[in-house]
């Protein structure tokens, strides 16, 4: 790195959103999610999306209004989660699903 270049700074707000999303994703997967919810989250993670994760994830639930979707996944129909939160939420929930699937195979 050149002497004048600054090292990238970690944004504490993004880290906090990721941590909260991870925690919420685990809670959702273990306490509230139906199997189909976890499969939809996996499908969401496998889909090519580089912006507006909330809209992309919402599109996986065509039978719900946005308020119903937000209440079902995040426990609050008024919430507008950040992309960092949503990505961490989905990854954590899918990790729980994959752990369950691994246990069934052994």
Sign of CA dihedral 53, 59, 64, 66: positive
5-49 pLDDT per residue, tens: 666 788 888 999 999 999 999 999 999 999 999 999 998 898 887
- Can you state the angle between helices 35-46 and 83-105, rounded to 10 degrees? 120
Residue with tokens 């609050």: 76
Question: What is the pTM for the complete model shown?
Answer: 0.82
Per-residue pLDDT for 88 more than 70? yes
For the chain, percent of residues with pLDDT exceeding 90: 40
Domain regions of the chain by residue span: 12-105
């Amino acid at each position: 790195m050149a002497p004048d270049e600054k090292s990238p700074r970690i944004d504490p707000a993004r880290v906090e959103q990721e941590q909260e999303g991870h925690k919420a994703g685990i809670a959702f997967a273990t306490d509230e999610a139906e199997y189909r919810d976890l499969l939809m989250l996996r499908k969401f993670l496998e889909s090519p999306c580089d912006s507006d994760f909330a809209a992309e994830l919402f599109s996986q639930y065509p039978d719900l209004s946005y308020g119903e979707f937000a209440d079902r996944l995040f426990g609050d129909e008024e919430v507008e989660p950040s992309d960092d939160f949503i990505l961490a939420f989905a990854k954590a929930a899918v990790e729980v699903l994959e752990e369950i699937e691994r246990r069934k195979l052994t």
